[in-house]
Amino acid sequence: MPEMFATYTRPDGGTTSDNKSPKAFVAIYLQEQKETTPKEMELIVQRMERFAESHALAVTETFIEPLNTRPHAVAHRAMVTSLRGRRKRYLIIPGVHHFANLGKNPLAVLGDLKAFDVEVLIAGHVE
């Protein structure tokens, strides 16, 4: 069955899951934006990976919520599933506005993740 969410593939053909860190599971989550080209999405992911590196983290996996996917949150649910059972968990997002289409208040989504003991890092303006 094909995946209903996007996992970023690097230009060299590897996926972000090739960067496994034995110490922590580090996920990137973002939603596609209107009028963002595939090249621009690649640059956004690269900036977020550099942000992770600046915090001594190696990205394990990247989840991108497709723009017109119904129901929303397919990539978000996959990301939460990947975070389960890990001791050290980090989530890197560009900003809480990337939780806007998940069906509840973005700050509530952030609170749920924090209650789940996920350390959320906000990369800021990478778009």
Q: What is the pLDDT of residues 84-94, one digit of tens each?
A: 777 789 999 99
Mean pLDDT in residue range 24-53: 89
The pLDDT value given to residue 21:
40
At residue 5, the pLDDT reads: 47
pLDDT in tens, 63-101: 888 876 656 677 877 888 887 777 789 999 998 888 887
Please, are residues 16 and 10 in contact by the beta-carbon 8 Å criterion? yes
How many C-beta neighbours within 10 Å does residue 44 have?
Answer: 21
Cα–Cα distance, 74 to 93 (Å, whole number)? 16
Q: What integer pLDDT is reported at residue 13 of this predicted model?
A: 43
Q: Which residue has the higher pLDDT, 17 or 84?
A: 84
* Amino acid 20: pLDDT: 43
Mean per-residue pLDDT of the chain: 78
Whether 98 and 30 have beta carbons less than 8 Å apart is answered as yes
Binning pLDDT at 50, 70 and 90, where does residue 47 land? very high
Nearest alpha-carbon partner for 19 in 42, 43, 50, 40? 50
pLDDT band at 4 (very low <50, low <70, confident <90, very high): very low
